[in-house]
Amino acid sequence: MWDFSTDPDFQGKLDWADRFVRAEIEPIDLLSPGTADPYRRDGAVYREIVRPLQEQVREQGLWAAHLPPSLGGMGMGQVRLALLNEILGRSMWAPMVFGTQAPDSGNAEILAHYGTEAQRREFLEPLLDGRIVSTFAMTEPTGGADPGGFTCRAVQEDGGWVLDGEKWFASNYPHAAFVIAMAITDPDVPVHRGSSMFIVPKGTPGMEMMRATGLAGEPVGEGVHGYLRFTGCRVPAENLLGEPGTGFVIAQTRLGGGRLHHAMRAVGQCRRALEMMTERIASRRTRGGPLADQQAVRQSLADVWIRLEQFRLQVLHAAWQADRAAETGGRDEARAARLHISAVKAATPATLVDVVYRAVHAHGALGVSNELPLARMWQAGPVLGIADGPTESHKDVVARILLQDAVPADDRLFGSEHVPTRLEAARKKYAGILPALEGDR
């Protein structure tokens, strides 16, 4: 059956999270607005404010909700995670307070699925406790998001592995205790079978940061994204995650759910922009009357609400498809989930850009200023168009899956819906009553 309601008990959790984020976490965004700030473990904000708030989240049973109960999480499905992430998307600090911040959440999933007992004890436990943060290094400066162009290599030597190559936009590296890095271990086979994942602890000789990279508007040379170089970087054999050649499969473990989390957090940002836009229209006067009396303004507000609701339902439906695939383990369900997740990923940046732009525009010069969060929220749109794979690659996934089921028309020239051809077939089908039909006319 179709049901768009939320379980009352879980809705109570969501209501608590919404109040908590607005009252306790959003103020931290103002006190400590740097993009790197949530990842610092040596600052007063983290020690004095964030750690006590994390304890409250734990008491509510909402800490690291994406992980199974055996690892201290709630074992939420993707639909419930989506509803929670919609709330967390309002605040830059909220994912950190709830233990779901990227890239740590995805790295925790990798370690939970593929880590050995020793790897979990050394890296996963302090990560889940919030005592450390981590980095995921997959993208390369030459290959971009195309693994087929990756050049970072790892070779076996003296019972361990030696990494050589570069990684680009390794988020959070300046503050990370360890890096999970993808490297090519068999260049003679396709990357889907020839890449592997390695845990590289901070301070490992041969791993260096060429420079820190920030987002637009941040000073050059500063930022939370690292440009890394591995030069004869040796790690022991036990730092391999999973089996050699399974790097691409391991990466997909973290990326699918992460795309849904990003999308629903974008919904949360859009919801906040809509609230600001609605408040502005209700408050402002122009040309001798309320701004709300301007039909063009009302049209824009309606467009924002409609687009946001459409996108929100799309994301929740994709999350439902992912839960269904996890429950059944079926091939068809997995393919449907992949189709819907890629479609959501492709729609996310355009939705965020459009919604936030309209809210910016409604605020005039104030909207583009640094006295409102809107311009910074708008910038997240282009970022989400690149993170976890560019929009074009996900559109290509959607098209390829749709074409797998496409059947060419018998009439290759005019197609199966050609009206003259179908009319002729209809006349033949009802030839016996055609005279009566002609008489009715």
Mean pLDDT of the chain: 92
Quote the Cα angle for 174-177-180, to 5°.
Answer: 90
Is the pLDDT reported for residue 439 higher than 80? no
What's the pLDDT tens digit per position in 331-347?
999 999 999 999 999 99
* Separation of alpha carbons 197 and 23, rounded Å: 40
Q: Give the mean pLDDT of 74-80.
A: 86
* Separation of alpha carbons 167 and 5, rounded Å: 44
Find where tokens 């209501």 sit: 15
With beta carbons less than 8 A apart as the criterion, state whether 171 and 136 touch.
yes
What's the pLDDT tens digit per position in 297-317?
999 999 999 999 999 999 999
Label residue 358 left, alpha or beta by phi (over 0 means left) and psi (-120 to 50 means alpha).
Answer: alpha
pTM score of the predicted model:
0.90
With beta carbons less than 8 A apart as the criterion, state whether 268 and 84 touch.
no
Specify the pLDDT at position 1.
Answer: 64
Specify the pLDDT at position 304.
Answer: 98
CA quadruple 310, 315, 321, 323: dihedral sign: negative
Tell me the percentage of the chain whose pLDDT exceeds 70.
99
What's the pLDDT tens digit per position in 354-381?
999 999 999 999 999 999 999 999 999 9
The better pLDDT of the pair 231, 2 is held by: 231
Specify the pLDDT at position 371.
Answer: 96
Helix (H) or strand (E) holding 18: helix 8-20
Instruction: Please give the domain boundaries of the chain with CATH numbers for all domains.
Output: 8-115 (1.10.540.10), 134-241 (2.40.110.10), 248-404 (1.20.140.10)
Specify the pLDDT at position 72.
Answer: 66
Specify the pLDDT at position 276.
Answer: 98
Phi, psi of 132 (to 5 degrees): -135, 170
Q: Give the mean pLDDT of 145-164.
A: 91
**Which residue type occupies 350?**
A
Nearest to 335 by CA among 347, 321, 349, 346: 321
Q: Give the mean pLDDT of 394-401.
A: 95
Q: Give the mean pLDDT of 14-40.
A: 94
Q: Is 143 helix (H, G, I), strand (E, B) or coil?
A: coil
* Separation of alpha carbons 210 and 248, rounded Å: 25
What's the pLDDT tens digit per position in 172-198?
998 999 999 999 999 999 988 999 999
Q: What is the DSSP string of 178-231?
A: EEEEEEES-TTS-HHHHEEEEEEETT-TTEEEEEEE--TTSPTT-SSEEEEEEE
